Amino acid sequence: MAELHFFTGTMDSGKSTLALQTNHNHAARGRAGRIFTTHDRAGEAVLSSRLGLTHEALEVDQEFDFWKYVVTSLTHGARIDYLICDEAQFYTPAQVDQLAKVVDELQIDVFAFGILTDFRSSLFPGSARLVELADRFNVLQVEALCWCGKRATHNARTEDGVMVTEGEVVVVGDVETLASPGAGTAVPGAENPEVAYEVLCRQHHRRRLTADRAKAVSLAPEPLPFG
């Protein structure tokens, strides 16, 4: 029986790497799949891992209809055994319902990968719906770590180096480049600030204490090189 799987974890916990590995494992057994993503750090229609692995993908916008896409593909003779859905936190609840329908009505496995909560510690609507509907809910065992060495549980956003808890939910950035793709050189106070993300433990997220700020106030002269 086909199932809807949801794999979740904080940023930098290996979700996209697992998505690529899952696709490889199924394709190696002769199964035919489709890969979807949205707002990937590497750009449009690409599924990328921070380890440097990439794969072509279908870009999902707010109007994309999974049910219509799969039914149309099957009607035209395509074979689809499974779907890989990365960055699923950005999908709409309606799109998650479509994925569940694909599983139930067409017996096609769906493997969704995404973050549970945004930088405000609020559930993403897409992730919330996946928690409600998934046949299997899996928390990744590769733990991301806060700069202090504790297990990271929260995703933090910084703008020009300052942690923020308000703003647009979808702003693409990266924990390594420390800038949103295409943003150019950021100038403090400018209209397009430099956006970066960092994973923190709950305590330091509550205190808005990022690695750079901890170092600046000498709470941790040399923050551990984690996250």
pLDDT, tens digit, 9 for 90 and up, residues 137-176: 999 877 788 999 898 888 888 888 888 887 776 655 444 4
Residue with tokens 């057994």: 29
41, 88, 96, 136, 174 from 145: Cα distances, Å = 21, 22, 29, 25, 16
Domain enclosing residue 29, as ranges: 4-139
Q: Does residue 192 have a pLDDT over 90? A: no
pLDDT, greater one: 107 or 43: 107
Residue 199: CB partners within 8 Å, gap ≥ 6?
A: 10, 11, 12, 144, 145, 146, 152, 154, 155, 156, 175, 227
Inside any domain, residue 93: yes
Cβ neighbour number for residue 122 with a 10 Å cutoff: 12
Q: Are residues 91 and 202 in the same domain?
A: no
Looking at residues 73-95, what average pLDDT do you find? Answer: 97
CATH number of the domain that residue 33 is part of: 3.40.50.300
Give the total number of structural domains in the chain. Answer: 2
Q: Are residues 112 and 179 in the same domain?
A: no
Indicate which residues carry an active-site annotation.
Answer: 87
Q: Are residues 61 and 88 in the same domain?
A: yes
- pLDDT at position 218: 64
Taking only the tens place, the pLDDT of each residue in 95-130 is 999 999 999 999 999 999 999 998 888 999 999 999
Q: Are residues 97 and 179 in the same domain?
A: no
CA 107, CA 205: separation in Å to the nearest integer?
41
Q: Does residue 217 have a pLDDT over 90? A: no
- pLDDT at position 126: 97
- pLDDT at position 109: 98
